[in-house]
């Protein structure tokens, strides 16, 4: 038995995993952001409540492990930022600890139990507040020891013009320190940013999408530009990775009409042609981070 965790800035969720078919959530507790001792005790409390000693602990976390130093970048939880968290937790708990990025865990969950089943190469894409991704090949996470593989949301790549007729798009500054990243336009905040740029209107992403679905001309223009901007870098990522399925999670994945338009545009831009949907809604809708971490932990046990 292993215990898996989904570590977020506001809550820590725990789960017990005995097999891929037997993963049981244990509930959630507030995340201690500034007190590492309290953070450890929260993890320990889940282990105690499980009633037995696990063989391993596996964490999904909104951060990136440096593959060279094993130190974690996790700005929204200061007490673990910059630590070799796996080593520190292992010393505290006396158990092997595995840590993976939440988008990587999402990709693993989809590859094993979701829309990616039966596919050799699965690119998991997140279209939520921002843009993220993870890559699984032959059942193995590419970022097994940490890193940025599959992170298609960053890098100065967005077009300077998009839509029909073309609209000029500024290279928006990104939180990663660069300009013109897909993350600046591809998530919910990016959609709102585009609408403001194109029409000088402040609406939420939900309002923009609702207006688009009702045939509003300005919202339709924004979605046209959005699809043009996002489809090209996603198509390039598919070409480079050879992915044959792209399960999408995050809030925007709930808009099936939007995914259908994105899928159509991506398939028009890639080298390999598919006569079926490529960009699809994820199937692991409940706790994909927890499930992905559990699968990674179980695979580590089997080695």
Instruction: Give the model's pLDDT for residue 238.
Output: 98
Taken in order 170, 243, 102, 81, the sign of the CA dihedral is negative
Instruction: Give the model's pLDDT for residue 301.
Output: 83
Which residues are bridge partners to 246 per DSSP? 279
- How far CA 238 is from CA of 3, 119, 287, 298, in Å, comes to 33, 13, 25, 28
Instruction: Give the model's pLDDT for residue 63.
Output: 87
pLDDT tens, residue order, the chain (303 aa): 999 999 998 999 999 999 998 999 999 999 999 999 999 999 999 999 999 999 999 999 988 899 999 999 998 899 999 999 999 999 999 999 999 999 999 999 999 999 999 999 999 999 999 999 999 999 999 988 888 899 999 989 999 999 999 999 999 999 889 999 999 999 999 999 999 999 999 999 999 999 999 999 999 999 999 999 999 999 999 999 999 999 999 999 999 999 999 999 999 999 999 999 999 999 998 889 999 999 999 999 877
| Six-digit token string for 64 | 């990136």
| Six-digit token string for 42 | 């929260």
What contacts 200, CB < 8 A, 6 or more positions away? none
| Six-digit token string for 73 | 């970048």
With contact defined as beta carbons under 8 Å apart, do 282 and 245 qualify? no
| DSSP code of residue 272 | S
Instruction: Give the model's pLDDT for residue 147.
Output: 83
Instruction: Give the model's pLDDT for residue 75.
Output: 84
Instruction: Give the model's pLDDT for residue 189.
Output: 97
Instruction: Give the model's pLDDT for residue 76.
Output: 87
What domains sit in the chain, N to C, each tagged with a CATH number? 2-104+286-302 (3.30.420.40), 118-281 (3.30.420.40)
Cα–Cα distance for residue pair 297/58, rounded to 1 Å = 5
> The pTM is what?
0.93
Other beta carbons less than 10 A from residue 23's beta carbon: 21
Cα–Cα distance for residue pair 184/220, rounded to 1 Å = 19
With contact defined as beta carbons under 8 Å apart, do 54 and 90 qualify? no
| Six-digit token string for 103 | 């988008």
Which residues are bridge partners to 92 per DSSP? none
Helix, strand or coil, per DSSP, at residue 20: coil
Other beta carbons less than 10 A from residue 124's beta carbon: 32
For helices 205-213 and 188-199, the axis angle rounded to 10 degrees is 70
What contacts 144, CB < 8 A, 6 or more positions away? none
| Six-digit token string for 135 | 């890559």
Instruction: Give the model's pLDDT for residue 146.
Output: 85
Instruction: Give the model's pLDDT for residue 125.
Output: 97
């Amino acid at each position: 038995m292993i215990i898996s965790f989904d570590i977020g800035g506001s809550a820590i969720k725990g789960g017990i995993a005995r097999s891929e078919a037997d993963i049981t959530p244990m509930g959630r507790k507030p995340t201690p952001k500034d007190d590492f001792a309290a953070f450890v005790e929260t993890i320990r409390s889940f282990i105690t409540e499980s009633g037995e000693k696990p063989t391993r602990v596996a964490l999904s976390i909104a951060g990136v492990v440096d593959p060279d130093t094993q130190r974690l970048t996790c700005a929204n939880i200061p007490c673990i930022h910059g630590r070799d968290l796996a080593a520190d937790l292992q010393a505290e708990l006396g158990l092997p600890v595995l840590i993976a990025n939440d988008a990587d865990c999402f990709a693993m969950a989809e590859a094993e139990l979701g829309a990616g089943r039966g596919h050799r190469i699965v690119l998991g894409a997140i279209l939520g507040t921002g843009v993220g991704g993870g890559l699984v090949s032959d059942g193995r996470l590419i970022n097994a020891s940490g890193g940025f593989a599959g992170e298609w949301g960053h890098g100065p790549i967005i077009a300077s013009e998009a839509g029909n007729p073309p609209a000029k798009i500024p290279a928006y500054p990104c939180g990663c320190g660069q300009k013109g990243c897909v993350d600046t336009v591809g998530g919910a905040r990016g959609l709102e940013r585009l609408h403001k740029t194109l029409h000088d209107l402040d609406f939420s992403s939900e309002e923009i999408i609702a207006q688009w679905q009702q045939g509003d001309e300005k919202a339709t223009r924004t979605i046209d530009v959005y699809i043009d901007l996002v489809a090209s870098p996603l198509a390039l990522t598919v070409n480079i990775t050879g992915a044959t399925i792209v399960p999408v999670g995050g809030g925007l994945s709930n808009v099936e009409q939007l995914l259908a338009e994105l899928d159509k545009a991506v398939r028009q831009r890639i080298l390999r042609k598919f006569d079926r949907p490529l960009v699809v809604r994820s199937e692991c809708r409940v706790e994909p981070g927890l499930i992905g971490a559990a699968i990674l932990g179980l695979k580590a046990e089997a080695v």
